[in-house]
Structure 1
Amino acid sequence: MKRNINRELSSLKVGIVLLATILIGCEKDFLEVNPTDRVSEVAIVQDSTLFEAYVINRYLGVRLIDKEGDGSVPGFGRGFEYAMMGTLTDEAVYNNDDNTWLIQQGQLSPENTGILGSFWGRSYRSIREVNYALQQIGEVEMSDSGKARLTAELKFIRAFRYHDLIRNYGEVVLMGDRVSELGDDFTDPELFEKSSIQESIEYVIGELNEAAEGLPLQNSGTWEEGRATQGAALALKSRLLLYAASPLYNNDNSDPQKWQRAADAAQDVMELGIYSLYQNGYAELFLTEGSNSEIIFARYYNINERHTALEIANGPNGYGGWGGQAPLQNLVDDYQMADGSDFDWDNPEEANSPYENRDPRFYASILYNGAEYRGREVETFTPGGLDSQDGPDNWNTSRTGYYLRKFINEDLPIQNPWEVAGTQNWIYFRYAEILLNYAEAQNEASGPDDSVYEAVNQIRSRNSVDMPPLPSGLSQQEMREAIRQERRIELAFEEHRFYDVRRWKIAMETENEPAYGINVRKSEDGSLTYQRRIALEGRSFQEQHYWLPIPREEIQSSDGQLEQNPGY
């Protein structure tokens, strides 16, 4: 029988092990009563099976805010939550708010962090749990090779948590191997002293180098799916070094050596020779059960460990769905025509038929008026469209006139999905990102050489996409814009846009654009007209929003020793 991390966790009763996390570091009850609903830290260290389960559980986190981890606890980032990261960008808005609009409207504050409020707490909790395991692993009866594997995994997990902290908050506190206890002196200023972004990145890169040396090239079978590999560590290194070379991390100054280091890191993944672009359909890439050639690191779900039921959460109201992530016209307009030209509302032919002859990834990612879906055409037109405000359940009508198709499995039901849906994999790293990382870094370091073209054109020419290659003779600036365009389209809704527009320092432009939707009007003769409209009022971004505020409760719990990010 096929197993993966989540099945392993279930079979090992690691819900109990997860509760042990609460116990670790807590003082004993004076009654000395041994609880029956948790495993003691002594038992974890003395039993190698329990200890390995504890380590595997560190790939998961804890619920800290409302609607996190519906069906299963959170992993890294947000993944398949009700509101995804794309709803905080110019990709989409979340139909029912769920604490996303305040971020879109520039109202982010230490007291009100919306759906982004758990990164700090969950990351540092996980780092402490990892540090505990690293502190104890020497006492576990296990082979040296087993200890080396688990140590490398722990370093990878800790590095991923720091990467989440750095890309959200900038300067962070480096804990080293420290395991804080309740009786510790929390007036120690070193416990709350931030390191510079550069120091933090170098620390994490060092951890990833060590992790890569101890991790297997590939997992040994489907039962190990979801555990870190050498490729996962190198992919995280590639992403972090790309960020480190970007304008936000360098006060807008370009450093070719940093870009070259990022290009080399991406090339290290490419040269492993075990990853390639998935060729059996762009839409299917996100629906395949288990791993495929493009997935480097992912969270694998199954019927016993499910995430948010995407089909009902994001489906059109006329099908019984809730609208969920509503793609913006801002994103729709950026999908090129099939011939590689930009879409143009001033072109009468394109304006009259805006959904014809577009980049095939558009059809795999977004539901629009007239799209074939589950046995009929989507009807967002008014008057009378089944998926418009004139349709049933109109309180769930898309605010933008579009619905999410990417990640959606049409073989899973929209209505009553509770025991069968929520099984798609959430991909943290895939090979297309690595190619785009390489292309961007190499272009910045040396200009648009042949290897840059090759990396981007591989993605554009994959089966089911078949977009024309980039035009030859592009300048470095033109190639820069082409790569940014390609990332926007290829990686849409995959938690990249939020960080890309910030690290490029273009968020003051992209995030201050109005949040556009579309009105599709149907005349009596059946003809359609299209008019852009505002989908969410008051969209706003300010300079301090390039970094998140540290939640106020974290500042207070440090007795004011933890320095807040500028502008908050």
Structure 2
Amino acid sequence: MKNLKYYIILVIGIALAGCNEDFLDIVPPDRVSDASILSDTTLFEAYVINRYLGVRLGDKEGDGSVPGFGRGFEYALWSSLTDESVYNNDDNTWVVQQGLLSPENTGIAGTLWGRSYRSIRECNYALVNLPNITMSESGKARLRAELKFIRAYRYHDLIRNYGRVVLRGDEVSMLGDDFSNPALFTRASLEEGLDYVIAELDEAIAGLPLQNSGSWLEGRATRGAAMALKSRLLLYAASPLYNGGTTGSAEQWQRAAQAAQDVMNLGQYSLYQEGYGEMFTASGSHQEVIFARFYNLNQRHTALEIANGPNGYDAWGGNAPLQNLIDDYEMMDGSSFDWDNPTHAANPYANRDPRFYETILHNGAPYRGRNVETFLPGGRDSQDGPSNWNTSRTGYYMRKFIDESLPIQNPWQVAGTQNWLYFRYAEILLNYAEARNEANGPDASVYDAINSIRSRNGVEMPPLPSGLSKDQMRERIQHERRIELAFEEHRFYDVRRWMIAEDTENEPAYGIDIRRASDGTFTYQRKIALQGRRFLPRHYWLPIPRQEILASNNALEQNPGYN
């Protein structure tokens, strides 16, 4: 029973609000009543487990099954709101890329507020009723810790997107409640919000098991998952965006470093050694996975192979990697790629960081029995090829997450089974290196954390040069996060918390134009893949959707710059 498919999916749609009119008290046949949930231990536990999932609130969300946390595997990935990729067919991503976000037009980013608060309310409902459930105290303690973790994760999604949030405590709002009190919509300070969530995670950590075993437990929170979320939040809390534009104190950074160290000290996780690309297509869990959503044929996600594959295979292009990202992959000797270097420019895809080949499909890359052809004229994966309306806008296609054993054509009952990794051990090592460097400078432990990622099997890049200053190490760590965590929903938040988005997100969205001469040689010319890319200071936080402001009778404060 992998991926939290849960044998009572109907509980997702539980009717929680009561009404006085008798005819409205009738529970629809596709719902489970409150009374049933609260009187049956198995149903109640199923209800709790289903809180790992959310609801569809937008177009194309949850193509195979309902959304979880974040964005995950959808048609347009969160990477396509950054300098990692651009979504070929828009799907409400260009409004973010082109700096047109407004409370009335939030694109694919518009459902985070509503889904998160709905889930928080559902967790509160379970927490309030948990003491009355007939269940062992140890069972209740486990569920209480899980609920606090899930609720903390939802607040983390709110904080990292909107900044200041409304803290609801354990309150459960019901139809008929008086919502005229402005205090119900008062947004806490960033510090208050972070302190609340960290305290909730500390409680969850104390009650969660070190490991899960058995299909009924796979995919549910563990102590390591809660500790990993704490590590991420404390890293964010010390970053410039969360401290008025200046870096956090040494104490804040040390606290973040310790949180990452605590995960490392568990001894439960290590870097995956069977290949960088295979890490994301391996079935089940493995040593690098800290917390994941597990999928299977009964609960699938978007069929990635057809959604993102080259048009020459009759696939749809999808999330097309940007030249901005491609140029940041180092050479195998650890030096920077440079178009002004004649050797690099003559063969730009040779001798690059091995993670490049596991992340990007480029011209000449081997894929499904032939080499990818994005060149003109005549390239099968260019606009001269079949299904040319799906040709990549950038000249590249996504390789990461793609499983060549899954079909491109007619994938609907076969594909969509890769696991989405919410937390993996490499992130913890990167968190530690960044926080430790900011707190103490680039000591040996910082080098060890980064070099272990660079030297593992399947990557085997040279170690970082010795003698780096704190500023130089900061740049190297930021670069390593960009490469190691590409397409995993980190870049959007990293460039914002570092407050470098006004540089990275105002760079044009570049692609490549490749021309093949009659003698078979290639020439490369950078091109604009999406016009009008723009980032303004107000975009460091998302706008709260206008409908949420209106629903509060304008008591809910909008983020600066969006009124």
Shorter-chain-normalised TM-score: which range? over 0.9
- The offset of 1:335, in angstroms, is 0.2
8 Å contact kept, 1:5–1:56: no
Whichever residue aligns with residue 416 of structure 1, its letter is N
Aligned to 1:538: 532
Match of 1:71 among 50, 57, 64: 64
Which structure 2 residues correspond to residues 84-99 of structure 1 after superposition, within 5 A? 84-99=77-92
Q: Does 1:142 align with 2:142?
A: no
Name the CA distance, whole Å, in 2 between partners of 1:223 and 1:326: 37
* CA deviation vs aligned residue, 1:457-490 (integer Å, no higher than 9, x gap): 0000010000000000000000000000000000
Q: Secondary structure at the match of 1:58?
A: helix
Aligned to 2:19: 27
Aligned to 1:432: 426
Name the CA distance, whole Å, in 2 between partners of 1:361 and 1:540: 28
Aligned to 1:171: 164
Q: Does 1:52 align with 2:50?
A: no
8 Å contact kept, 1:4–1:223: yes
Q: Does 1:210 align with 2:203?
A: yes
Name the CA distance, whole Å, in 1 between partners of 2:17 and 2:255: 40
The size of the alignment, in residue pairs, is 560
Whichever residue aligns with residue 114 of structure 2, its letter is G
Whichever residue aligns with residue 241 of structure 1, its letter is L
Name the CA distance, whole Å, in 1 between partners of 2:555 and 2:31: 34
State percent identity of aligned pairs. Answer: 71
TM-score by length of 2: 0.99
Shift in alpha-carbon separation, 1:281–1:222, aligned structure 2, 3 A: farther
* CA deviation vs aligned residue, 1:16-67 (integer Å, no higher than 9, x gap): 21121xx102325423545332211111011000000000000000000101
Q: Does 1:233 align with 2:233?
A: no
8 Å contact kept, 1:63–1:74: yes
- The offset of 1:400, in angstroms, is 0.0
- The offset of 1:220, in angstroms, is 2.0
- The offset of 1:301, in angstroms, is 0.2
TM-score by length of 1: 0.98
Name the CA distance, whole Å, in 1 between partners of 2:20 and 2:262: 48
- Stretches of 4+ aligned residues off by more than 6 angstroms: none
Name the CA distance, whole Å, in 2 between partners of 1:388 and 1:505: 36
* CA deviation vs aligned residue, 1:215-262 (integer Å, no higher than 9, x gap): 000002243111000000000000000000000000122311100000
Shift in alpha-carbon separation, 1:399–1:427, aligned structure 2, 3 A: same
Which structure 2 residues correspond to residues 185-200 of structure 1 after superposition, within 5 A? 185-200=178-193
8 Å contact kept, 1:5–1:223: no
Q: Secondary structure at the match of 2:492?
A: helix
- The offset of 1:538, in angstroms, is 0.2
Aligned to 1:524: 518
Q: Structure 2: which 5+ runs fail to align?
A: none
Match of 1:13 among 8, 11, 16: 8
Whichever residue aligns with residue 71 of structure 1, its letter is G
Match of 2:321 among 321, 327, 330: 327
Aligned to 2:116: 123
- Root-mean-square deviation (Å): 0.8
Name the CA distance, whole Å, in 1 between partners of 2:288 and 2:391: 35
Match of 1:281 among 257, 275, 282: 275
8 Å contact kept, 1:69–1:308: yes
Q: Does 1:221 align with 2:214?
A: yes
* CA deviation vs aligned residue, 1:288-316 (integer Å, no higher than 9, x gap): 11100000000000000000000000000
8 Å contact kept, 1:83–1:98: yes
8 Å contact kept, 2:98–2:533: yes
Aligned to 1:4: 2
* CA deviation vs aligned residue, 1:149-201 (integer Å, no higher than 9, x gap): 00000000000000000000000100000000111110111110000000000
Aligned to 2:389: 395
Q: Secondary structure at the match of 2:52?
A: coil
Aligned to 2:399: 405
8 Å contact kept, 1:369–1:381: yes
Q: Which moved more, 1:213-222 or 1:121-130?
A: 213-222
Q: Secondary structure at the match of 1:97?
A: coil
Aligned to 1:259: 253
Q: Does 1:343 align with 2:341?
A: no
Name the CA distance, whole Å, in 1 between partners of 2:498 and 2:40: 48
